[in-house]
Amino acid sequence: MLPITLDKKDRLLLNILQKDCTLSLQVLAEEVCLTTTPCWKRLKRLDDEGYIRGRVALLNSDKLGLDLTAFVLIKTHQHTYDGFDQFVSTIHIMPEVMGFYRMAGEYDYLLRVQVADMKSYDRFYKNLLHSVPTLLDVTSSFAMEEIKYTTALPVCP
């Protein structure tokens, strides 16, 4: 749930930016029925308060030849702060890892990995095992088809 400090115009701005962050300030202001100065002040506040994490271009993995998506479930047998810090540091420098989650339940971590093909995944897998020798179990599932993908959070106006 969003904090009370966001009004309808703030939420509308966030929704618009999630769809296209390249829109000019003039277009954004018109979309939310404001003039440019109040619109800019809202955007600045949303940025300063951390509602906007960044502005990026979303690339097409197929066009880049990164056709294989793997979901990797991991169990570790070392549950210490040092072990956690080392594991997190290792995963952060692996560019193939698109998502990294600490889980509740049977597995400790979930990775979403994007690579070119099975051979590339095998290299990633071997590098993972070599870089983090404390892994107990690594189970991978491969996506056959992407049915829905979005980066837009459900911010209701």
Residue 77's pLDDT is what?
84
> What does CATH list as the number for 68-142?
3.30.70.920
Quote the CA–CA distance of 104 and 107 in Å, as a whole number: 7
CATH of domain 8-48: 1.10.10.10
Q: Model's pTM, two decimal places?
A: 0.86
pLDDT value at residue 78: 76
Across residues 92-112, what is the average pLDDT? Answer: 97
Q: pLDDT at position 80, please? A: 84
Rg (Cα) of the chain, in Å, rounded? Answer: 20
Q: What is the pLDDT of residue 89?
A: 95
- Contacts for 156 with CB less than 8 Å, ≥ 6 apart: 11
Q: Of 17, 12, 13, which is closest to residue 151 (Cα–Cα)? A: 17
Those residues with Cβ within 8 angstroms of residue 9's Cβ, 6 or more apart along the chain or in another chain = 32, 33, 34, 42
User: pLDDT at residue 103 above 90?
Assistant: yes
Helix (H) or strand (E) holding 136: strand 135-142
Tokens of 112: 């979403």
Domain with CATH 3.30.70.920 in the chain: 68-142
Is pLDDT of 2 > 70?
no
Amino acid at 34: L
Q: Residue written as tokens 């056959």? A: 144
Q: Per-residue pLDDT tens for 141-157?
A: 999 999 999 999 999 86
